[in-house]
Amino acid sequence: MTSQIAPSTQKGRATRDRIVVAAAELMYRHGVAGTSTPAVRDAAGVSSSQIYHYFADKDDLTKAVIAYQSESILSHQTPLLATLDSLDALDSWRDVVVEAARRQNGAGGCPLGSLSSELSDGHPWARDALAAGFSAWSGAIRDGLAAMIGNGTLRPGTDADELALALLAAVQGGLLLAQAQRDTAALEAALSAVIAHIRGHAKGQA
């Protein structure tokens, strides 16, 4: 899959960004298959020629949407995870994740999770991009847990990588069930269970 050259002007970058944001919103609501290029054109307020000036094809646009959703999640999550210096801070992060899902009554699920369910099996390029997004998210969680190891909250030798993956898996599974059940109980239960396990690695715990 080929990609077009990135725009060199501020106006060009703004137009490209507007196209990506419009496509991301439509794909989040309707899926990739349910999002047409004309629909993106109309939502972004651009011409078809502008879309194909910035994107080689729909796959190229979809790849840009994956990158956009990954960056959006990290821009929201990283500041929270960067302040993980205590178990109480970890509880606060869980509360933010749950509250975000509760505000939508569980609808929508995770943007990356939804794209992964639709694209990963049939599109290797999408699977690679999605895996990179999840890895970056897991890495941000790991860095927060590593900080807790560094300040003595968690015992030395605690596997921050494994616990970060467990937390991310709890988020993804919980959001999927919240989407189906229109209830955040499973998300809360999954995150609370993993955090309880992490508390078992705190200094002073047997």
Query: pLDDT tens, 8-58?
Result: 688 989 999 999 999 999 999 999 999 999 999 999 999 999 999 999 999
Query: What DSSP designation does 205 have?
Result: -
Does the structural domain 10-199 have CATH classification 3.40.190.10?
Answer: no
pLDDT at 141: 93
* Residue from 70, 62, 52 nearest 22 by CA: 62
In the chain, pLDDT over 70 holds for what percent of residues?
95
pLDDT at 125: 92
CA distance 81 to 147: 10
* Residue from 76, 59, 65 nearest 21 by CA: 65
Contact residues for 167 (Cβ-Cβ < 8 A; gap 6+): 141, 191, 194, 195, 198
CA distance 185 to 170: 12
CA distance 87 to 196: 10
Contact residues for 193 (Cβ-Cβ < 8 A; gap 6+): 170
CA distance 126 to 81: 26
Q: Where are the domains of the chain?
A: 10-199
pLDDT at 107: 86
Residue with tokens 């943007």: 111
pTM score, whole prediction:
0.87
Intervals of the chain under pLDDT 70: 1-6, 8, 205-206
